[in-house]
Amino acid sequence: MLYLIDEPMADIGLRTAADDPDARVVLIQDGVFLSPDLDAEVYAVEKDVDVRGVDLPDEVERISYDALVDLIVEQEVKNFV
């Protein structure tokens, strides 16, 4: 499942994703400030990263909005934005 995570809903979103062995997490908007400690693929939307001037941890992959749309189309989504 794909989890879209923004800062205001981060606690519940990350706890939910942590219980999912198939989780893929996308940090979006102010969620790019987070450094989640998850055993999952974690992405951050590059435009949000650039606008906020964030240095991402090595384990977080930058993706475009187009790539995000592809991920959303490919799988079920839980939205914590």
Q: What is the pLDDT of residues 2-54, one digit of tens each?
A: 999 999 999 999 999 999 999 999 999 999 999 999 999 999 999 999 999 99
pLDDT of residue 32: 97
Query: pTM for the full model?
Result: 0.94
3-state secondary structure 55-74: CCCCCEEEECHHHHHHHHHH
pLDDT of residue 33: 97
With beta carbons less than 8 A apart as the criterion, state whether 5 and 13 touch.
yes
pLDDT of residue 65: 96
Tens digit of each residue's pLDDT (9 = 90 or more) over 50-68? 999 999 999 999 999 999 9
Domains and CATH numbers, the chain: 2-80 (3.40.1260.10)
